[in-house]
Structure formats: C-alpha cells, structure tokens
Structure 1
Amino acid sequence: MQLDKQPVWKTILYPLIAFLLVIGIWWVSVIAYDIPRYVMPSPGDVWAHILDDHVALWIGFRVTFKEFIIGFVLGAFSGFAMAVAMDASKTVRGVLYPILIFSQAVPIIAISAALTIWLGFGLAPKLVIVALVVFFPVVVNVLDGLRSVDADLLRLARSMGGNTWSIFRHVKMPATLTPLFSALKLSATFSVTGAVIAEWSASTSGGIGAYLMQANSRLNTSGTFAAIAYLALLGLVAFVLVIAVEHLLTPWRHKPTVPRWSSRFWRN
C-alpha cells in the first residue's frame, strides 16, 4: 500500500500562508475603509495590546487551558466507556441512547446555569460543561465504530479461541480509533467554546473567557480581539495535540512499517 504523505514543509507552509493572507486582508481592510479602532482594531493594535497586557492574558490562558484539558480528558474517557457499555448490552443502549439524544436538545448555556446552582462557582461546573461538549460526539462515533465491525470477523475470532477481552482489544478496539479521533478533533475546537461559556456562567478564577467578557463590557475591542486570538491559539493547540496522539496510536495509517512498541501493544 502506498501512503499519500504530504511533505512536512508543506504541512507547515500552507497554514502559515493562509494565516498571513487573513492578517493581510484584515489589515488592508481596516486601512482602506478607515474603520475606527473602537469598531475594528488593526492587527497591529491587537498585537500592541497583547504585548502590553501579556501577563494577564497568559494567566487567563493557563486557567482556561487547565479547565479545557481536564474536562476534555474526562469527557473522552467517559464517552468511550459509555459507548463500550452500550455496545455490550442492548438494554443499556436502548435505555441510554434516547436520553443522550434528548440531552443534546438542551442548550449548553442552560445547562451551565443549572450546574452553577448545583456545583457552585468553582472548577467543577466548568469541567462538567467541557466534558459534556466532548462526551456526546465520542459516544456516537465510538458506538458506530464498534457496531461496524464485521460479524464474520467476530465469529472467526471466537472460533479461534478469543475471549471477550482479546476480541475487544484486537478486533473492536482498532475499529474504534478512526471514528474516535474524528470525534476528538471536532470536540477539540468545540470544547474551547464550552470552556468560555463555563467561565461566563461560573467564573471566580479568571480565564480567557472572563477576560473577554470584561474587555467587551468596557468596549475595549483590542482587548476583545486579543482574547479571541488566545482562544484561537488554545483551539489550535488542542487540535494539534489530538493529531499527535492519533499519530502515535495509529502508526499504520502513515507508515509502511509499524514501530516495535506499537506492534507489541496490539499483539500481546
């Protein structure tokens, strides 16, 4: 099998060109249409604000990143466990699946308000909100991956003496990785939005979301765009981290030979 692998320099260069193009169009538009700073600051104004207030922005970034990473991991693991349980039992799937669908019809902002009442203004409601954003896509995608395994392959594995755990590890688990990481890559950006909503609803420890709300209330557009830039950076970092983990756990997708550690993990 020939792998369609893009050179590393193209992987870096193309996003860089796109980023510079957006910045250039933004800067030219502000100058050409003489847009006031309080309406639309230029990239230079935003960069100057970041330099002036980088300490507060960095502190807020660390707070939001902590909320994001813990909530993301909790949502991913609980969603995966729920999908496995639903695949193992038709009763569990029949009872829980409609509840999951119903829960997605409730706006996240409404859930955040209720969680603030129940859990207070600490870290807990923020983690729950981020986890909820990740939970549903992971459950649905992993469950689809588990149910898409060929029935003949499962029967073959059983006829060769495979028990429940070995079949799950060697047959079902690899089938879930592609849909799992598809869900995680989508959730990586959506959960940043969840973290911001959580900080708007229950923030006593700062964060980029709280910084954004304060800058917006003061009509500080440069500060607002600076906070947006940090949130975009957080989403980008999250997306890259998911891709890095995917690259590590699925080496057969991008290499003709599998590393020894990976082959031992999947074979033992």
Structure 2
Amino acid sequence: MADADTAPAPTSGQPGTPAKRSEPRDTLVFLLKLAIIVFVFRSFVFSPFSIPSESMLPRLLIGDYLFISKWNYGYSRHSLPWSVPLIPGRIFGRLPARGDVVVFKAPPSARQDYIKRVIGLPGDTIQMRGGQVILNGTPVPKVRVGDFTLPLSANYDAQRCGAEYQDSDAGGRPICRYRQYRETLPGGRSYRVLDRGQTIADDTGVFTVPAGRVFLMGDNRDNSEDSRFPAMEGGGIGMVPLENLEGKAVVSFWSTDGSAQWLLPWTWVSAARWSRIGEGF
C-alpha cells in the first residue's frame, strides 16, 4: 500500500501542470509586437528620412539623415508606411506654416517621398520675377550673403557640381562654390537659398494656390523640380495636396559624405559629417 503522505507526481495534462512553452512561438509573438510598435511609432510619432538629391542645398546635403515629426499636419494614408489605405481622407488636419520643411508623397503618382519648403498656402498667389519670389503681390526679401561652398565627395562629385562652379579652398582641396542668398518670408521665417544664374524657372506666371493644396519649392532654386512645374512623373510636382504631407523635418541625426565602406568600419567615422548631426529646423 502506498504511503498516505506520498502523492503521485502530476503528469502532463493534469490540473496544475504548467503549459509547455514554445520557444519559436514566443519569438514570433515578440517580433509581431515589435513590428506593431515600430509601425505605430513611424506612422504617428517620428519617422526617419534620407536626403537623395541636392534640391534642398544649402540646408540639406545628399547623405543627410533626419527625423520628421508625423503629427504636425494631421494624418492620412500617406502617414502610414507604404501608404497603407487604413485612414480615409485626412484626420486632425492642420495647415503648415510658410517656411516649414516638409516630407510628402510627390504628385502625380504619390509613390516617391520628396522634401521641399512650404512657400504658399491655400489662397496665396506666387510668382517668380528675376529669381525673386513674389508672394501675394509683394517681393519676398532676398539678400546676397557669402558664397556656399561644399567639398567635393562621393556624394557630391565634380559632375554634380558643374565645371563652372568648381573651385578650391585655402588648403587646395576641391570644392563647389555657389552664390547664396538669405530669403525672409512674411512673419520672419528666414533661410538660405542658392541661385546659380538665370534659368527658365526664374520668371513665371502667377500661380494661385487652390484650397486643400500647398506650393512647395526647393532651396536650390535652379536645381529643383517643384511646384513651379506641372506634376509629372520624375519631374515637377505642381500644387501638392495637403493629404500628401507626411511630416515636418525636425532634426538631423546622421550625415555622411558617401566615402564609407561597409566592410571597413573605421571609414564610417572618417565619412561622417559630425558638425551636421543634431541640427534642428
């Protein structure tokens, strides 16, 4: 007879037996939760963006990486990664301010992310005369300042610079040199723009910004396909719908001149443009 104080050990499946944990399942659940958190954070709080072109020189260089805040102008499907159509129209919508640097889905296809500066709001009239912005009939002040210089690098080579703008610094290193101006919008927002000389975009007709849209321009005025040009795939963007806005540029968190090699970690340090990291807008 069994000892009365001795109970048989519980077997699998009996009450009180802890369920057997599945390591692969736990890992999958963790990764799913992490993906949801990242999706929500990127959609509604902050999202990273890298600068692919020179259209926003001198403020942004190719190889700059920045964070954009997602709540400033409301939310639409373009706020979500891959423009997942989960948000109808635009919710909590607000107008940007003139001078804001914004990331948006570029018309007409709304497939590519662009970054430009807000110049005109709904109801504004805009014209270019001799390279100067005329906003609501009043010239926007544009004052010549010192030249903008940029060292030639893997991200910005001699071909991008253009032969007529190549120069060298005091140490004999090759640089690119452009004429630079300070532009000041009504309300006091001030920023630098580049003007290489007379182009077809320096003199335009009068644009009237319709309701629900904004007029955007690049700071590199002679090398920016923006609202001065009709919306065309790989070209101009026309007037940009407010629901295409994804967020507002807030801070640069990394910058590289493009000379780094993935297999040579020490080049990551030498390629970094440390002075640009942490710059706000």
TM interval, shorter chain, is under 0.3
Which TM-score applies when normalising by structure 1?
0.27
Which structure has the bigger radius of gyration? Answer: 2
TM-score norm. by structure 2 comes to: 0.26
Select the structure that is richer in helix: 1
Higher RCO (CA < 8 A, seq sep 6+): 1
